[in-house]
A = this chain, B = another copy of it.
């Protein structure tokens, strides 16, 4: 049985929707890769009763409780007094922590104030954890084989404390069998169709290998989970992957952590190809996806966003007559755009998108969500029509994913 952890985020600003809590998400991922199971996450406000009752409940239910937030110097931060009350202890000034705070203040040339000094008063029963990045130390408590840790809510302070101290200590205390995950990443097939396609394989999975479907926009990830990191375990999971792959091969773009835009980068750089983009209705979003990958200048020459028809015509030599006869959202236009941007931008692969993102601009013949995507390389220039049905931002996002998938499919055929 893996160790169980409960995360408690404390802060009115999270509950009121003013601060997005990314701490719990990050901690979840870190514990998961250690093989510690997060069974529950709780967010509560800066309220004494809530903090005390949730601490008690969490200590009953889990082996590890990680608390973030509520350690600021002002009076609305209640985590520390609540911990003192919860453990029925008292505060003791810690000189090592105080010196660290003095050092931080000296660095920015400021006098330490009394409220900041008081941040070095810590519950007598805790092991203090040095906060290299801020004034609130972390606190490590142990009783009856359970661990309770309190950390500041500032993300970079919490992360440093986790990496330097908390994760290594938790690993040494709780980890025998690590969790082993593999991920198969698909695109171009919906969750239910995918489930239908692999249902016999899924039924035959051994019970100690768990399968999860993780759909995100336009793509579905299949996650296989088991415990233990022995070679035998890895081999067994790989055998299951090898069994299912032939059923879904044409939808699989990658494995484990690789995003579709990273997979495209890999496919292009494997071939030493450069990409160029002409995108209209997606307004730069496809180019943004491609360039969100570090190092993308290796396989990306650039993009052109011709929002006006005049620019499509002048800059990418799409014949005004074609646009007049077929409209900007049409097969001949995306064919010309893909080919011309490839040539003009001195690339090996050109991709083009033209469509009606909405909410305006739709017609009976071409309703909102009609999108043409073109692809061109040295051997061929092709186009495909898509019909999306959602709102503007969703149409833009789906179009970009469809274009990435079109690059993948055509490069694979190479």
Contact = CB atoms under 8 A, between A and B. Distances in A.
Contacts of A191: 72-74
A115 interface: yes
B17 A28 contact: yes
Nearest to A9: B41
Nearest to A387: B108
A288 to B, nearest CB: 4
Interface in A267-321: 277, 279, 282-288, 290-292, 294-297, 300-308, 310-311, 315
Contacts of A76: 211-213
Contact of A74 (B108, B195, B291, B393): B195
Stoichiometry, copies per complex: 2
Interface in A109-137: 109, 113, 115-116, 133, 135
A287 B305 contact: yes
Interface residues of A, number: 98
A297 B291 contact: no
A295 B360 contact: yes
Nearest to A40: B44
A389 B108 contact: yes
B29 A17 contact: yes
A37 B391 CA distance: 29
B19 A192 contact: no
A359 B302 contact: no
Contacts of A310: 301, 346
A42 interface: yes
Contacts of A300: 307
Contacts of A311: 301-302, 345
A306 B341 CA distance: 12
Please classify the interface of chain A as helix (H, G, I), strand (E, B), loop, or mixed, using the class held by over half of its residues: mixed
Contacts of A30: 17
A318 to B, nearest CB: 13
Contacts of A109: 387
A29 B16 contact: yes
Contacts of A387: 107-109
Interface string A1-42: 000000000001111111111101111111110000011111
A396 interface: yes
Interface in A78-112: 104, 107-109
Contact of A302 (B42, B215, B302, B306): B306
- Candidate in A302, A358, A394 with the most chain B CB atoms within 10 angstroms: A302
29 contacts: A13-B212, A14-B41, A15-B38, A18-B29, A18-B223, A39-B50, A41-B43, A72-B191, A72-B213, A74-B192, A109-B387, A113-B192, A277-B305, A279-B284, A283-B287, A284-B284, A284-B290, A285-B288, A287-B287, A291-B307, A291-B396, A292-B396, A294-B358, A294-B359, A302-B305, A302-B311, A304-B304, A311-B345, A315-B344
Interface of A: 12-22, 24-32, 38-45, 50, 72-74, 76, 104, 107-109, 113, 115-116, 133, 135, 154, 156, 191-193, 195-196, 211-216, 223, 277, 279, 282-288, 290-292, 294-297, 300-308, 310-311, 315, 344-346, 358-360, 387, 389-394, 396
Given A283-B303, A284-B291, 17 more contacts: A13-B214, A15-B41, A21-B25, A39-B45, A40-B43, A72-B213, A74-B213, A115-B196, A283-B296, A284-B285, A284-B303, A288-B288, A292-B392, A294-B392, A301-B307, A301-B308, A302-B306
